[in-house]
Structure 1
Amino acid sequence: MWSFNIFKNEKLKFVLNAGGALVLDEHFELMLDENVTGNEKRFILSASDPRFSKIQAVTISPLSGAKYTINGEEEEKITHLEDEDKFDVSAVTYQVRFSSKKAKTGFWLKTQKVKDASHVDLNGWMDPGKGFMYFCPEDQGAFSSPVVYFFDMDHTIIKPKSGGKFPENASDWIWWHKIVPERLHRLRTTGARIIFISNQKSMETDVTLKDEFQEKIRQIQDKLGFEFEVCVASGSGMFRKPSPGIFHFLKEYMKLDPKSCLMVGDAAGRPACKISGKKKDFSASDRNFAVNCGLDFRTPEEFFNSQVSKYKEADLKIKPNAARALKDNSIKFNKSSDLIHDILKRKKSLIIFTGYPGCGKSTFAKTLTRSFPEVAILCRDEIGSTQKCIKLCKEALHIGKSVVVDATNPDIASRQKYLEIAHELDLDSIISLFFDVEIDLAMHNCRYRAITGGAVIKDMILYSHRKKFEAPSRSEGFTDTISIPFEPKFESNFETQLYYSHLP
């Protein structure tokens, strides 16, 4: 068993077992689950596992703008640290030292709190991340092949024995087709890795008990006579298909190559067939997962029964990813941003935002806060009500402050109260800043925000905004109207990959 000692100024600070990880704040102090919201600067310190990697190393992953120094250079990227390597965080020196002994204190990842444990078992069920369960087989030979087959489980490998859409209990299953176990055994004899990957969002509300699902997996493994890997998205976050979170985890920690992987699943976006009577697929999550991860894809009929696909890509009911249609808006974004900054530098102003949820309003407001701490930034979501926003706006303008109203303000009526206050004070700089984003992109942005830990905004709220929307104009009483496009910004390669993915 590998383990690593992390020393702080020559004194032992942390101990990591193989496969373990710590979540640390920007000062390199341990963070517990309840302290992690997803927005603060932090580090993930993870140790390599001899079952998945030949290199003994600790990986330091800075998140949300956290920085460290190595070899005199400030870094924000992921780095692999080997025995005796040193690095600095907040002007404090740390060193990694390899040890072959078991660690006295072990941690898996942030969602599994294991304190004062003499050993973290690397076989069996684990929780590598929030909303993610992973089963690791005991047989190390299962990881020897670069060839990997991902299988959705329900209605691909098995189906309910009772004939319903959903199983009634752990034993309510039969093979999707009698050929399934034979094909899986054939793959097993070639040395290929077999990984079941399943969305089980109901676990989030305890509708599906985890032990019941694990019992089902045990039964399937007993029937087959061998263990296989299992990845379960037990929540609604970034690990839920079609998001690529699970594949990203496997690729980072187990060095998978997308070119040697195949995804098999029934959620392929196929339309209904009147001739055969087959209903349309309930979604395209399996096919989109393959697209997001760069994997080849087959339906169960194509893989197990060798059927030739009857569908053309144009027939598949797969909604395009609105983010992929984004053009480079940086020039226009920077021009509009500079204009707003220049206005706030020169004169007392009232700036009223208009735009869908998820169009970048609050992100832009934060940049203004950093540049102009004296400006009153009124975020309706944080303040709690429009009436309070109006009251605070009036108070701030009366004492000579500039005000930025960060709210959706979809129509003339929602903007009128603020305009009346400005006109009463004879303000000569009343600006409308319109965030020019179409509803499909706004919906995508809201989904991205939700699966990365932000608030959940339902589509109906965006449809309501569209129904009410009236474009801001000078005729309302604005001295100028400015539009600004959406310009995404990312802190890691995975955030970029996730954003441009098909999302749940």
Structure 2
Amino acid sequence: MASTRGQASSPSSSKRPAPKDSISPPPLKRKVQTAISKSAVANFFTPASQKPKDRTIWTERSPDDDTPATLLVAKYLPEPKEAGEGRSWEKHKKRRIAAFDLDSTLIAPSSGKRHAEDAADWKWWHHSVPERLKQLYHDEGYQVVIFTNQGGLILHPDPKSKTPKSHKSRVPAFKQKCSTVLGRLDIPITLYGATAKDIYRKPRKGMWKEMKDDYDLTDADIDHENSIFVGDAGGRPAEIKNGITLPKDFSCSDRNLAHNVGIPFKTPEEFFLGETPRSFSRDFNLANFPFAIQEDAVAKVFTKTNKQDIVLFVGPPGAGKSTFFWKHLKPLGYARVNQDQLKRYDNCFKAAISLLEQGESIAIGQSYVSLADNTNPDADVRSQWVDLAKKRKVPIRCVWFKTPLYLCEHNDAVRSLNADLNPEDRQSLPKLAFNSFASRFKEPKVKEGFQDILEIEFKFRGTKEEYGIWGQYWV
């Protein structure tokens, strides 16, 4: 290897002597500023065999065999201790789990910006964080883990996509930062990073299940009452405290994850600083939708009053239209016309005309295919079906699903992420689908040409086993 030192100066290149009669004082020598630390320089000249080994092992995982990896996992193991140094309880499973969010809980950008600029842009959220986590592991017998949503990371970008290069380069920087953080803690710990809106993303339980598998734990093994999840997404509203404005939490996902897995929740302020809990709220509160034994018969929900008619569904995606059809209209002999299956809007009309000519009663329930073909949101769209009913000389009835949008998003997530509740293999819808319906929606009126309008308030209709899935937080 060539020497990194500068070459000796030749006589011709030696410095000139300063003139005797200088008209100004010599310039002050300024200390050269550099962004390179002494440790980095020392590390550069350290032989590879003498450099400390990175104790972090990175892996990737997929929600199923047909999907590219979306979960990033970092497992850190300290240097093995000499014989006799370890504690006896370290040889056994740790039944208490201390789980933490990462950003704004354990660390924060040292630049003061909302998001870190690079791998070095971080500091501890509070100076007590590292020692508190070490205490949890060494003195209190907790298994410490990290669950973090990292939607800005793309593990396997589509080469044909127009994803900016800056997004594609975030994964190495994130790994470098996390390796440093875990190294500073220097306790056995695993970090789980969800990069997509799938089963792994909080508040869904995917990362918790991966943790149980990694540590060979069952629900019966875990001391849920004395475990804890700490995160900043606690659903707290903005408030002023001691003259300081405390901002609103961006979501309630951390609190909801703790609810889903059945362990207590605390914010960083409560856990690390001992502050009094602030109030919180959820847009969607499961407590308002408890499980109830289904006693209503089909006739009490929907009654067929005509020999042949058209039933037009009105409601946002995820409002429960498909479930309503299969449980209440299909048994009464109704045929279904659905744009999810027929794809094109005009195909729905062709199918409807054909079925009516055969003497069938039909239920019209287009679902979200495009912004232009949302589920009968206004009178202009509905008038096309009213006109068809007039031409075919059959009555047309309306079933209006008055399901709030937050419930629709919840239902959509439950359906798309649980195969047993998704017989039609529906894909998760973008938030734009729900907002589009809301922006166009006009309440249906009998004067539009309907024989009657049946209003359906949302109520969970299913088995106790199905409620066990539905009755979790998914969004």
TM-score by length of structure 1 reads: 0.63
Alignment CA distance shift 1:226-1:440 (3 Å): closer
C-alpha contact 1:324 1:500 (8 A) present in aligned 2: no
The DSSP-based 3-state class of the residue aligned with 2:351 is: helix
1:33-44 alignment runs, 5 A limit: none
Whether 1:321 aligns to 2:285 is yes
2:429 equivalent in structure 1:
456
1:363 equivalent in structure 2:
323
C-alpha contact 1:377 1:406 (8 A) present in aligned 2: yes
Shift of the alpha carbon at 1:169?
2.2
1:377 equivalent in structure 2:
336
Q: Which consecutive residues of structure 2, in runs of 5 or more, have no partner in the other structure?
A: 1-56, 65-69, 79-88, 158-166, 367-374, 419-425
Q: Which residue identity does 1:404 align to in structure 2?
A: A
2:181 equivalent in structure 1:
220
1:193 equivalent in structure 2:
143
Q: Which residue identity does 1:419 align to in structure 2?
A: V
C-alpha contact 2:77 2:189 (8 A) present in aligned 1: no
Q: Which residue identity does 2:217 align to in structure 1?
A: M
Shift of the alpha carbon at 1:235?
1.0
2:196 equivalent in structure 1:
235
Shift of the alpha carbon at 1:142?
7.9
Q: Which residue identity does 2:470 align to in structure 1?
A: Y
Q: Distance in 2 between matches of 1:262 and 1:198?
A: 15
Whether 1:254 aligns to 2:217 is yes
Shift of the alpha carbon at 1:483?
4.1
| Residue 115 (structure 2) aligned to one of 166, 170, 180 | 166
2:72 equivalent in structure 1:
133
The DSSP-based 3-state class of the residue aligned with 1:203 is: coil
- Report Cα offsets for 1:271-330 as digits up to 9, x if no partner: 24361344333333222222332221222222223x32152x3xx243342673367483
The DSSP-based 3-state class of the residue aligned with 1:150 is: strand
Shift of the alpha carbon at 1:151?
0.9
Q: Distance in 2 between matches of 1:471 and 1:143?
A: 63
Higher Cα Rg, which structure: 2
Q: Distance in 2 between matches of 1:333 and 1:165?
A: 54
1:403 equivalent in structure 2:
362
C-alpha contact 1:272 1:279 (8 A) present in aligned 2: yes
Q: CA RMSD in A?
A: 3.5
C-alpha contact 2:230 2:268 (8 A) present in aligned 1: yes
Q: Distance in 2 between matches of 1:281 and 1:480?
A: 44
- Report Cα offsets for 1:383-437 as digits up to 9, x if no partner: 344444234322332343332211322333322222222222333x533233343
Shift of the alpha carbon at 1:195?
0.3
Q: Which residue identity does 1:309 align to in structure 2?
A: T
Shift of the alpha carbon at 1:199?
0.5
Q: Distance in 1 between matches of 2:92 and 2:61?
A: 19
1:245 equivalent in structure 2:
206
| Residue 98 (structure 2) aligned to one of 149, 153, 158 | 149
Alignment CA distance shift 1:183-1:440 (3 Å): closer
The DSSP-based 3-state class of the residue aligned with 1:382 is: helix
**Worse-superposed segment, 442-451 or 398-407:** 442-451
The DSSP-based 3-state class of the residue aligned with 2:111 is: coil
2:234 equivalent in structure 1:
268
| Residue 403 (structure 2) aligned to one of 437, 442, 457 | 437
C-alpha contact 1:333 1:485 (8 A) present in aligned 2: no
2:351 equivalent in structure 1:
392
Larger strand fraction of residues: 1
2:18 equivalent in structure 1:
none
Q: Which residue identity does 1:196 align to in structure 2?
A: I
Shift of the alpha carbon at 1:152?
0.8
C-alpha contact 1:355 1:434 (8 A) present in aligned 2: yes
2:262 equivalent in structure 1:
294
Q: Distance in 2 between matches of 1:412 and 1:154?
A: 47
| Residue 271 (structure 2) aligned to one of 303, 306, 312 | 303
| Residue 307 (structure 2) aligned to one of 347, 350, 360 | 347
C-alpha contact 1:128 1:134 (8 A) present in aligned 2: no
Q: Which residue identity does 2:184 align to in structure 1?
A: K
Q: Which residue identity does 1:281 align to in structure 2?
A: D
C-alpha contact 1:333 1:484 (8 A) present in aligned 2: no
Q: Distance in 2 between matches of 1:491 and 1:359?
A: 18
Q: Distance in 1 between matches of 2:442 and 2:298?
A: 25
Paired residues in the alignment total 370
Q: Distance in 2 between matches of 1:180 and 1:284?
A: 22
Shift of the alpha carbon at 1:262?
0.7
2:164 equivalent in structure 1:
none
Q: Distance in 1 between matches of 2:461 and 2:154?
A: 30
The DSSP-based 3-state class of the residue aligned with 2:443 is: coil
The DSSP-based 3-state class of the residue aligned with 1:188 is: helix
